[in-house]
């Protein structure tokens, strides 16, 4: 009997960090990965959104779903109410304007209209790919310590065998109450979050090895990479909130606190900004 074997590279939360993504893709190719799946939040906060999309297209990535950061593209273009408020709302407006400038128009529109959920099939195995939950790419329901019922939601309306999600920036493997596998590959470009005890600036991803309709292994990987080109690009492009971004890369410590964002906004006189379209028109 012929046994088919595939190695899936699971990629989440790149956040515009092309240096980290390049290191992950190189490591994945060396490990023999045959297929690539993206779990959203390809963009925002890092300096090279278009380059990150292009890198994923080069490896013929098979899944493209909307993350909460791509969702802000959609909301601001459609004049929908934002999910973020206060000083973080101001940051979203400014970073969206930055990304809109560095993404080509077609890519920006395409990212703003990605689906929340995609089902991919590899031989006899179905994988449900989402950023947070099937019906929304945001929220805190699927943090690693959340209730089991929240993880069951990922597969409740699906015949998929596996759920892959991102958003929390924490590598995780657990099971639904129906014994279906749930995986979070961690974050490629920003592997730390608020409240994280262990500081970390290694690029994270996961390899899922399959044979026919069976799972052989789940391998969490962390890759060291040279952060200096990323920092230099952030400085060269005058990335908004760039000092917070560069400090995060250097230290592995979460830097986007409300207090630091508020101080940055005040120092740069961003406090009065309320509208993405008006701000971007003014910047142009």
The pLDDT tens digits for 47-78 are 999 999 999 999 999 999 999 999 999 988 87
Which pTM does this prediction carry?
A: 0.94
Q: What DSSP character marks residue 255?
A: -
pLDDT tens digits for range 77-101 = 877 666 778 899 899 999 999 999 9
What mean pLDDT is predicted for residues 237-242? 97
What percent of the chain clears pLDDT 70, i.e. is strictly above it? 92
Residue 1 pLDDT greater than 70, yes or no: no
Q: How many distinct helices (H) and strands (E) make up the chain?
A: 10, 9
Can you give the pLDDT at residue 203?
97
Check residue 60 and give its pLDDT.
Answer: 97
User: In sequence order, what are the residues at sequence separation of 6 or more whose Cβ sits closer than 8 angstroms to the Cβ of residue 82?
Assistant: 72, 75, 76, 89, 92
Residue 3 in this model has a pLDDT that exceeds 70: no
- The string of pLDDT tens digits covering residues 37-46 is 999 999 999 9
Spell out the domains of the chain, with CATH numbers in brackets: 5-123+186-283 (3.60.21.10)
Q: For residue 282, what pLDDT is reported?
A: 47
What is the DSSP code string of 174-226?
Answer: EE-TTS-EEEEE--SS----TT-SS---SEEEEEEEEETTEEEEEEEEEE---
């Amino acid at each position: 009997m012929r046994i088919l074997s595939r190695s899936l590279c699971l990629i989440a939360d790149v956040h515009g960090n092309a240096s980290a993504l390049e290191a992950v893709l190189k490591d994945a190719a060396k490990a023999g990965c045959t297929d690539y799946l993206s779990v959203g939040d390809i963009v925002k906060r890092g300096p090279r959104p278009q380059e990150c999309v292009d890198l994923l297209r080069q490896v013929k990535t098979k899944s493209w779903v909307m993350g909460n950061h791509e969702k802000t593209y959609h909301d601001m273009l459609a004049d929908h109410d934002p999910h973020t408020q206060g000083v973080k709302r101001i940051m979203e407006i400014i970073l969206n304007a930055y990304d809109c400038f560095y993404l080509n128009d077609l890519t920006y529109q395409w990212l703003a209209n990605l689906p929340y959920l995609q089902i991919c099939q590899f031989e006899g195995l179905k994988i449900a790919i989402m950023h947070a939950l099937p019906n929304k790419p945001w929220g805190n329901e699927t943090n690693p310590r959340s209730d089991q019922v929240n993880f069951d939601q990922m597969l409740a309306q699906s015949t998929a065998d596996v759920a892959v999600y991102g958003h929390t920036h924490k590598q995780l493997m657990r099971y639904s109450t129906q014994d279906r596998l749930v995986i979070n590959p961690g974050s490629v470009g920003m592997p730390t979050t608020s409240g994280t005890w262990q500081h970390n600036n290694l690029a994270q991803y996961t390899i899922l090895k399959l044979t026919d309709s069976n799972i052989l292994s789940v391998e969490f990987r962390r890759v060291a990479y040279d952060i200096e080109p990323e920092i230099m690009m952030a400085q060269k492009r005058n990335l908004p909130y760039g000092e917070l971004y560069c400090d995060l890369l250097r230290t592995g410590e979460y830097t986007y606190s409300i207090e630091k964002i508020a101080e940055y906004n005040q120092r740069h006189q961003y406090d009065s900004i309320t509208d993405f379209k008006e701000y971007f028109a003014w910047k142009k």
